[in-house]
Amino acid sequence: MLKKVLKKIISLILFFSLNASGEKVVLDKIAVIVGDGLVLESQFNLKFQKYVQEFSKQNPGQALPPESFLKKQILESLIVEELLLQKAERFGVRISDQELNDYMDQIAKSNNITLEEFINEVSSEGSFQNFRRDLKNNLIIQRVQRGLVRPKVFISDQELENYIASAEGQSSILIEYKVNQILIKSKIQAEEISQKLSDGEDFNDLKARYDESTENEEPKWQRKSELPSLFGIVEDMQIGSHSDPLESGAGFYFIKLEDKRGDTVKVESQDLVRHILIQTSEIRSDKQAEELINEIKNRISKGEEFRVLARLYSDDPGSKLNGGDLGWSTSDKYDPIFKKVIDDSNLNEVSEVFKSSFGFHILEVLDRRKKDVSKELQKDKAFKIIFERKYEEQLERTLQELRAESYVDIKINI
């Protein structure tokens, strides 16, 4: 049996889309003239009937909302749908058959069934061709809405920071920290401890010898809101790092971030890479490109500077002027062959010539590091939450404006 959610998806599309039924209807009256198009009374009646059926099925024993209210809402939805489809026609918005097939395949996979099983389930609920047509219209409408609304949604860096720092943000972007601490009451001794830490002495050894706090428990997982406000800097610390002395009424605290966890916590391996790319063209054959990159490699091995030759010869416009420098990044973002060469390379050694989907390369890994990208992930999550909220608000305003500025002549009494 299919999951209930799949049945609901199918039912909603069959119901809420334009002309959702496969029944033959008599197109005898105009319900509304909408811009350059029409909404037929048969469409309106059919959608109202389907709503009543669906409501009764999903809410047994519950009374329907007032009929006049329902009819007005349904008519308005048909008007807005028609306006959006007209905009799609003017803007040239299309959904290809391949896109539609891919979307249905995604629905099927998300419910752990095959596309064939999905089609059979749709067919058991109504006409598959009508379902396919109405799903296509829905996707077109969504694309038009995104095009109209997205440019109007702006989120500043300050909004992101404020959200992350808010109670709601702390709740939705849950991060826990494991913080170790040393309390030193004497300023002179605190300065000595600071120097010892700078010299590389172990934090836990110093804690065992000098800590004057009454807290002897092992560090435990805590949210930022559960930590003393003095320790708030922990959100900007790297795992394994320690703070400078933090002065308080009790003395001077040193804290060390032992670990942190949460769905937005991530430490990734990054490489600093530079490369030279030689591509084939109408005037440079594959053999000539390979000969040129080998010549460049030989010149580097004889002492010529990599960055100078990259500026002279590289066909990568993004890094050419920077001497081939690609900046810090994870190797996963590159072409699979390029990634493998990075991962297999030793530091400060020019690789052998290799060919990727872009052309012939040599590369050099200049450095490697572990980078805490949790802050970026927090901002990404905050952005999605704020964007979704603002998008819905702006969508409502945009549809109201579209409705208000359009020619609409309602011909039926409801």
**67-83: per-residue pLDDT in tens?**
999 999 999 999 999 99
CATH of the domain at 44: 1.10.4030.10
- CA of 286: how far to CAs of 316, 362, 414, in Å? 17, 16, 73
CATH of the domain at 198: 3.10.50.40
273 and 145 housed in the same domain: no
Asked whether residue 237 carries a pLDDT value surpassing 60, the answer given is yes
For residue 181, the tally of other CB atoms under 10 A from its CB is: 21
Residue 8 has what pLDDT?
A: 47
| Mean pLDDT of the region 221-238 | 91
220 and 336 housed in the same domain: no
Residues 6 or more apart whose Cβ sits within 8 Å of residue 274: 306, 307, 310, 319, 323, 324, 325, 326, 363, 364, 366
18 and 144 housed in the same domain: yes
| Mean pLDDT of the region 34-47 | 92
In a domain, 391, yes or no: no
Asked whether residue 64 carries a pLDDT value surpassing 70, the answer given is yes
239 and 360 housed in the same domain: no
In a domain, 413, yes or no: no
In a domain, 205, yes or no: yes
Asked whether residue 347 carries a pLDDT value surpassing 60, the answer given is yes
| Mean pLDDT of the region 26-49 | 87
pTM of the model: 0.66
Interhelix angle 203-210/187-198, nearest 10 degrees: 160
Residue 22 has what pLDDT?
A: 45
Helix-, strand-, coil-residue percentages of the chain, each rounded to 5 = 55, 20, 30
Q: Who has greater pLDDT, 23 or 256?
A: 256
32 and 8 housed in the same domain: yes
284 and 247 housed in the same domain: no
Task: Match 């039924």 to its residue by tokens.
Answer: 21
How big is the CA angle at 175 (ends 173 and 176), to the nearest 5 degrees? 155
Distance CA 195, CA 184 (A): 13
Q: What is the mean pLDDT of the chain?
A: 90
Residue 50 has what pLDDT?
A: 87
What kind and span of H or E run contains 90?
A: helix 67-91
86 and 55 housed in the same domain: yes
Q: Which residues of 363-398 are buried (b: 16+ CB within 10 A; e: fewer)?
A: bbbeeeeeebebeebbbebbeebbeeebbeebbeee
In a domain, 253, yes or no: yes
Q: Which of 262, 292, 312 is the last residue of a domain?
A: 262
| Terminal CA-CA length for the chain | 41
Asked whether residue 18 carries a pLDDT value surpassing 50, the answer given is no
Residue 325 has what pLDDT?
A: 97
246 and 290 housed in the same domain: no
141 and 249 housed in the same domain: no
In a domain, 164, yes or no: no
Specify the number of domains making up the chain. 3
Distance CA 266, CA 376 (A): 9
Residue 27 has what pLDDT?
A: 47
Q: Which residues of 240-279 are buried (b: 16+ CB within 10 A; e: fewer)?
A: eebbebbeeeebbbbbbbbebeeebbeeeebbbbbbbbbe
Q: List the alpha helices (DSSP H) in 92-180.
A: 97-110, 115-125, 128-149, 157-165, 167-172
Range of the domain at 275: 267-371
Task: Label the pairing between strands 408-410 and 30-34.
Answer: antiparallel
In a domain, 411, yes or no: no
Residue 28 has what pLDDT?
A: 61
Closest by CA to 16, choosing from 53, 62, 64, is 53
In a domain, 398, yes or no: no
Is residue 1 within 8 Å of 373, Cβ to Cβ? no
Q: Which of 118, 136, 151 is the last residue of a domain?
A: 151
316 and 293 housed in the same domain: yes
319 and 363 housed in the same domain: yes
Q: What percent of the chain has a predicted confidence (pLDDT) above 70?
A: 93
Q: Which of 15-19, 26-30, 116-120, 145-149 has the highest mean pLDDT?
A: 145-149
Q: Which of 7-21, 90-104, 163-177, 200-214 has the lowest mean pLDDT?
A: 7-21
Q: Which of 93, 119, 151 is the last residue of a domain?
A: 151
Asked whether residue 265 carries a pLDDT value surpassing 60, the answer given is yes
For residue range 271-308, what is the model confidence (pLDDT) as tens digits? 999 999 999 998 999 999 999 999 999 999 999 999 99
272 and 252 housed in the same domain: no
| Mean pLDDT of the region 205-223 | 89
At position 317, the amino acid (one-letter code) is P
Asked whether residue 15 carries a pLDDT value surpassing 70, the answer given is no
Three-class SS state of 390: helix
In a domain, 397, yes or no: no
Q: Who has greater pLDDT, 215 or 280?
A: 280
